[in-house]
Structure 1
Amino acid sequence: MGGQVGDDAGQADVPGGLRVQRPLRRDPARPYPLLSLPPHRLDHPQQRLRHGCSPTRGRPEGHTTLRRLGRDPAARRERGAGPVYHDTPSPRAEDESCSEPEITPALLASQLWAESKFKTSRGEATSHVGAQGPAQFMPGTWATWGRDSDKNGEASPWDIGDAVMAQGRFMCSLIKQGKSSGYSDEPRALALAGYNAGWGRVDKYKGVPPKSFSGGETYNYVRSILADLPRFQGPGQIEIPGTGSGPDALRKAAGRIGTPYSWGGGTPAGPGLGFCDGTNGYLNGSCSASVTVGFDCSSLVQYAYWSAIQLPRVADRQYRATSHHPVSRDQLQPGDLLFWSHGSTNSIYHVAMYAGDGNVLHAPRTGKFVEVVPLSSAMPERDYYGATRP
């Protein structure tokens, strides 16, 4: 909510049914395969919200089609010449671990799929210009980031263990660069753009290169990898016992942990692009929601319960739709809805789901991700309004 407590944040995904339509091939003009994603429709409502962390209606969803593109020799040269980031830590600092929460197995897997479809043989995972292995490293870049990570006596871009660890080191450094850049795009998007087109292009455009850059190749590469994340995410990160609409909804929502917050983003079908309304959806002075595929607080709840229970959008409306079954704080069960307000039902600004053990699962605000946090610290304690059971 535009810099105030309970403000929406963003992350990326699209609803299921992703269709892979792409043979493994390489364009001689570019060592790194790029993906194409038909843009989501941007017919967002223009009315401003009076209350609640979500818009009055959701956005239609597009489908995802993956295919390789590649026609930008400049980006190829920039990336193939070695590290193209600026002012990043020494790669040796990344050897032991990466403390950036954005670097997840699902992100790296989705990126590897985009680069090579997990191919590791020299015949299948070598580009016409010399990019090598499942992570498609040029030799100059591999010389900087490659290690014998699996300790088999050889550091090789063809070795899946070595390649994934090098990919992770490079991406971790780029994530850090993205966070320190001040650009409005989320760090994962900035890192992917830097990996694909070179950080110089990110600096040039002060964010992910637009559709006008190289036919939209990097723009689509970034969006498609983030949209494909659900295919590579494992089971939920929390244990959810029991059956019924509450636990079932919580399990569904837990499958979206790590999805960005996007003001106005998300529908019952899944994550979607958001919008800015003059106050909400902004990050570092720019509209983040319009380029972030994710959920806001009420769209996540609506998605979780749909279609067993068809809740409305907007936190205060969800309270009104469920207030006939209030729940005291000491009787909370998994899936119950919790609300925060500035004083009255009309001032409810945030909704979360009880996740058990004193925790809640929610989409907190712009710049954050769907997460599990203690109820006591999810929002200001003084603003806690009550709980209901749909």
Structure 2
Amino acid sequence: MTAISPAGRPLPPAVDDVPAWTDSYFNRTRVVVEKFGDCRVTYAVFLRRPVISAPRLATDWLDAIAARRGTRFDVELMHREGDWVGAGDPIFYLSGPFAQLADLETILLQKLGAPCVAAHNAYQMCVELPQVPFLAMDARHCAGAEMQEMMAYAAAIGSAAAQREGAKGFIGNANDATAHWFGAARGRGTMPHALIGYAGSTVRAAEMFHETFPAEDLTVLVDYFGREITDSLGVCERFPELAAAGRMAVRLDTHGGRFLEGLDPGESYAVLERHAPQAVRRYRSETELRHLVGTGVSAAAIWRVREALDEAGFPKVRIVASSGFGVGKCRVVAEAKAPIDVVGTGSFIPEAWSETYATADIVAYDGVPRVKVGREFLLRNGARRRGQG
């Protein structure tokens, strides 16, 4: 029997599969409690690092499990969805029959930790580039459909938090299945590198796409042959009407093994001296310098493409930048005022997976405060003052 969320979406694992996917000591605990008598417990659920609260997948799953088991769980949300949460601060308190909750902890924590950290990353990226819309391109890096759902949800929650501070945030994603998190029916995107290779030239790939989808705006990858400037201008010259109408974009996805066409370290510095000299006149780490003037999609590379488009008479052609746009890179290209129109990224996926580990500790048994030594900070304020009884 599959658990169904209040929104009508299936929530794995199915109710009958929970014992197989949870840690065995939780299954054994449930059996012991059923033998010696149930009690009402309260869990404090938290992470050990600052995050953005993203509890919906976890709490929806709890609601669905409770309904299927014919019981009730009470969730006291301490931080609303999208709120900042400090390290060790409970995101919610969960109360209910111990026998019904004991075997749910493993899966509950899986559904909470990673979305909260990813939401925090997405939030930071959006506030670093507040005037730039983002497109979530996380799916290809996810370990299956369940993670894909978690990461899309996280990006949407982090984005919404940034939008409340004036950022444009995430305007969509790259696949249909998770587009609902962004208020859309379908994902966005035009062509991968494979289509360029199939067509034999960047211009020919653009022609094929436009002939197949004539009503859609045209975004063309321009790094396949290492001729980002040449192919950007070639596509614009082939479709001048689309370019003039603002219905065309070039996507920069140059990999980190080479410079964009026409650039090298010296020329990259020269580009930034023309447009953002302040960005290179301060101390930079090696990573920051790479984002500014190094290989791949650097700030200098973005500026150089903008220069070429404007000089050729295509000022309305937009630039979509992808390839490694995590929090640090967003910060650096923002300082360089790089003229990006859209960022495509999946780099809100947590890099250090150990940071995503959520924890749940029982803090009360039948209303009596009790928690393991060292976790007293999880007790409610009144219980802390009274001691643990």
The TM-score with structure 1 as length reference comes to 0.29
The structure, 1 or 2, with the larger RCO (C-alpha pairs under 8 Å, 6+ apart) is: 1
Bigger proportion of residues as helix? 2
Larger Rg: 2
